[in-house]
Amino acid sequence: MDKLIVEGGHKLVGNICISGAKNACLPILAAALLTEEECVISNVPLLKDVSTMINILASLGRDVKKEGDKVIIARGRVTNVTASYEMVSTMRASVAVLGPLIGRYREAKVSFPGGCVIGPRPIDLHLKGLRALGVDIDIKEGYIIAKAKKLKGNRIYLGGHFGSSVLATDNTLMASVLAEGETIIEDAACEPEVTDLVEFLQSMGADISGKGTPTLRVRGVKKLKGAKHSVIPDRIETGTYMIGAVITGGKLFLEGTTVDHNLALMDKLHECGGEIKEHKSGIEISRKTNKIKATDVTTLTYPGFPTDLQAQMMSLVTIGDGISVITEKIYPERFIHISELNRMGANIILEGSTAIIKGVPSLSGAPVMASDLRASAALVLAGLVADGKTEIARVYHLDRGYERIEEKLTACGAKIYRVKE
């Protein structure tokens, strides 16, 4: 397994080109199953998770190829409706093939996605949405066996204990676009990645209104056609590098992205001393204060502060001037990065799902372990400002969600390189 070596003390100064959004392109690739016509998805990032989704579509019998930043799903039908344990166990988002397979073929057999280090990751809301459309669901030998004689529109409330669910909204939506009659999804997720999926489905001929709101209204249509779609920029990659500029006291221009999807983060970075200028072609970000100011963050569903930037924000405030408080309302156990940051000299204590971070003057480089995609990014950010070298093991987590991260950071002055273990 590869590891990353990061040498601290170098400001990030320069330009970074933001890639397409991982969490938008995964359900959009799955949505191509709703038609037998060709679909061309562009601005697709070169990520492990994208290759996994391409392999799943191929395992279902579709002819899929990646050409540069484009993924072409050629004309054709699936030859089977089974997404295997081997595939689904490497990426939870594979569950997003459930909705389109049922929507188009009225049946699906998808391995039950497991939990991960950030929490149990249940799918009760996905199954609630599908059952409401008339789908019979069986769980056998670790597989979700779904069948529907007919799909009938319905009014569905999809809010759960932690609020709306991104992929449960996606699955229910994709199962409803070819159903008979009208479907209303209440407490639908409003994340930009869900809106991007809605726009792709609309370009295929789906009749959906209410995009970006908690109420999605779908009128079933007979057939969907092939379409071309360019994926939105990745707001979590954007946010990660915005934090990188502020934590190192550097200055970055992030190309091909917008603050529109990161208003909650922008608000917090202003509190911490960040200076953000919006341009047509991107975002300019630096820090105007010589010290990072403490702040308080609570993660919420969109447009609240995103849980996928919680770990990165924690790295920032470990060297903040004062006491910061971070509360995790989406995945209450998403704090595995605390122990690694404390190994680097941070002073963080956890009370339930609230972390109290007492700012320290500096961090010290140490061997640390990556555990999930976003915690890994948080360790890279901490390594950029720690004294000495930080060795981050198991960086395959990072490769799932950050395209060419060491290349993009090196181009901005970071001293970071990968070694094969």
Q: Contact positions toward ligand EPZ, by CB under 6 A?
A: 23, 26, 93, 119, 121-126, 160-162, 165-168, 189, 193, 307-308, 330-331, 373-374, 401
> Quick one: the chain helix, strand, coil %, rounded to 5?
35, 30, 35
| Nearer to ligand EPZ (CB atom), residue 93 or residue 179 | 93
Residue 130 CB, nearest distance to ligand EPZ (Å)?
A: 11
Calculate helix-pair angle for 98-105, 22-31, nearest 10 degrees. 20
* The pairing of beta strand 207-209 with beta strand 155-157: unpaired
What distance in Å separates the CA atoms of residue 44 and residue 70, rounded to the nearest whole number? 6
Total residue count of the chain as it appears in this document: 421
Residue 162 CB, nearest distance to ligand EPZ (Å)?
A: 4
| Nearer to ligand EPZ (CB atom), residue 193 or residue 399 | 193
Say if CB 415 and CB 7 are below 8 A apart. Answer: yes
Using DSSP's 3-state secondary structure scheme, residue 185 falls into strand
What distance in Å separates the CA atoms of residue 78 and residue 32, rounded to the nearest whole number? 11
Which residues are annotated as catalytic? 116
The answer to whether the peptide bond before residue 233 is cis (omega within 30 degrees of 0) is no
| Nearer to ligand EPZ (CB atom), residue 286 or residue 307 | 307
| Nearer to ligand EPZ (CB atom), residue 251 or residue 329 | 329
What distance in Å separates the CA atoms of residue 369 and residue 339, rounded to the nearest whole number? 10
* The pairing of beta strand 251-255 with beta strand 282-287: antiparallel
Residue 30 CB, nearest distance to ligand EPZ (Å)?
A: 10
Q: How many CA atoms lie within 13 A of 3 on its CB side?
A: 14
Residue 204 CB, nearest distance to ligand EPZ (Å)?
A: 20
Kindly tell me the burial class for residue 365, based on how many C-beta atoms sit within 10 Å of its own C-beta (0-12, 13-18, 19 or more): buried
What distance in Å separates the CA atoms of residue 375 and residue 382, rounded to the nearest whole number? 11
Residue 61 CB, nearest distance to ligand EPZ (Å)?
A: 23
How many CB atoms are closer than 10 A to CB 79?
A: 9
| Nearer to ligand EPZ (CB atom), residue 122 or residue 205 | 122
Spatial neighbors of 418 by CB under 8 A, at least 6 apart, are 2, 3, 4, 5, 395, 406
Residue 203 CB, nearest distance to ligand EPZ (Å)?
A: 20
Residue 14 CB, nearest distance to ligand EPZ (Å)?
A: 25
| Nearer to ligand EPZ (CB atom), residue 36 or residue 237 | 237
Residue 194 CB, nearest distance to ligand EPZ (Å)?
A: 9
Q: Which of 283, 286, 294, 332 is nearest to 310 (CA)?
A: 332
What distance in Å separates the CA atoms of residue 24 and residue 33, rounded to the nearest whole number? 16
| Nearer to ligand EPZ (CB atom), residue 170 or residue 406 | 170
CA angle 215, 194, 99 (to 5 degrees): 90
What distance in Å separates the CA atoms of residue 168 and residue 222, rounded to the nearest whole number? 23
Q: What counts of helices (H) and strands (E) characterise the chain? A: 14, 24
| Nearer to ligand EPZ (CB atom), residue 23 or residue 286 | 23
User: 32 is written with which tokens?
Assistant: 């191509």
